[in-house]
């Protein structure tokens, strides 16, 4: 068997499990978002902002992916929202069977919203379906405004892009406007947000998008 055949088998096996997750989320009418970003872009900070406000409106479960430690799950749990940490040891992305195992450890309740924080990496997570409704790419201004051009895959597969750390704009050569333009040149269908998880700027627009996604999922037929 060639290396390409092995990769195809791995990806197909992943899709089979992702389909099972998708079916469960469809049955429960759960909106699932898969957050992809470089290390330190602000994935957990955005999740903290999200659960802090939306936990009073929706039942939320969080799945955290990191090589080691439960630091991120601990940050979410401090908000009183259930979070399960996956440790991939050396794996650079989450796979569907890992997420399925983590979901089984969350409380046995139909969630309105499941948030999955992928391993910090703009490359490998893009190729693995986790049964989510949408991938969200987060890119911080500190990384430079050229990232959508250099790592187009993450922006191509995403439904939404969050440009984070805009509070640092005065100190950086990067421009949020150029980052937005580059993101949209890679994927014109992206919904783009500009946020600061530190000051809270732009977070309301992000939260409204998540609310709308939850409402759309609730209204969807289970087999849709």
If binding is defined by CB under 6 A, does position 165 make contact with ligand GTP? Answer: yes
Report the number of secondary-structure helices (H) and strands (E) in the chain: 8, 7
Q: State the binding partner of 30 from ligand GTP, Mg ion, none, CB within 5 to 8 A by kind.
A: none
Segment 58 to 87, residues that bind Mg ion, using CB under 5 A: 72
Task: Please give the C-alpha separations between residue 190 and each of 147, 160, 182, 187, in angstroms, as whole numbers.
Answer: 15, 5, 11, 6
If binding is defined by CB under 6 A, does position 52 make contact with ligand GTP? Answer: no
Site string for ligand GTP, 66-105 (x = CB under 6 A): ------x---------------------------------
Buried b / exposed e across 5-40, counting CB within 10 Å, b at 16+?
A: eeeeeeeeebeebbeebbebbbebbbbbbbbbbbee
CB of 42 to Mg ion, least distance (A): 8
What gap in Å lies between CA 210 and CA 22, rounded to an integer?
18
Q: Which is nearer to ligand GTP, 9 or 204 (CB)?
A: 204
If binding is defined by CB under 6 A, does position 41 make contact with ligand GTP? Answer: yes
CB of 48 to Mg ion, least distance (A): 10
Which residues share a beta bridge with 31?
Answer: 113
CA 14 to chain centroid: 18
If binding is defined by CB under 5 A, does position 112 make contact with Mg ion? Answer: no
If binding is defined by CB under 6 A, does position 14 make contact with ligand GTP? Answer: no
If binding is defined by CB under 6 A, does position 37 make contact with ligand GTP? Answer: yes
Strand-by-strand arrangement of the 160-164 sheet: 83-87, 60-66, 113-117, 31-37, 134-140, 160-164, 191-194
Q: Which is nearer to ligand GTP, 140 or 187 (CB)?
A: 140
If binding is defined by CB under 6 A, does position 120 make contact with ligand GTP? Answer: yes
Binding site for ligand GTP (CB under 6 A): 37, 39-45, 72, 120, 164-165, 167-168, 196-198
């Amino acid at each position: 068997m060639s290396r390409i055949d092995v990769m195809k088998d791995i990806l197909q096996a992943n899709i089979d499990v992702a389909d099972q997750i998708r079916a469960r989320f469809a049955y429960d009418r759960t909106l699932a978002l898969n957050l992809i970003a470089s290390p330190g872009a602000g994935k957990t900070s955005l999740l903290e902002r999200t659960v802090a406000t939306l936990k009073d409106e929706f039942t939320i479960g969080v799945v955290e992916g990191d090589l080691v430690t439960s630091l991120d799950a601990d940050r979410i749990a401090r908000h009183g929202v259930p979070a399960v940490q996956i440790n991939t040891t050396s794996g650079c992305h989450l796979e569907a069977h890992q997420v399925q195992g983590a979901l089984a450890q969350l409380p046995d309740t139909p969630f309105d919203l499941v948030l999955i924080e992928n391993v910090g990496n703009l490359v490998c997570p893009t190729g693995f379906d986790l049964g989510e409704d949408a991938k969200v790419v987060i890119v911080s201004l500190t990384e430079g405004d050229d990232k959508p051009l250099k790592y187009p895959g993450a922006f191509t597969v995403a439904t939404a892009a969050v440009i984070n750390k805009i509070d640092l704009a005065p100190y950086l050569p990067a421009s949020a406007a150029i980052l937005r333009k580059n993101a949209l040149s890679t994927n014109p269908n992206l919904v783009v947000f500009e946020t600061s998880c530190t000051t809270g700027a732009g977070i309301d627009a992000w939260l409204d998008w998540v609310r709308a996604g939850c409402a759309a999922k609730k209204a969807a037929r289970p087999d849709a």
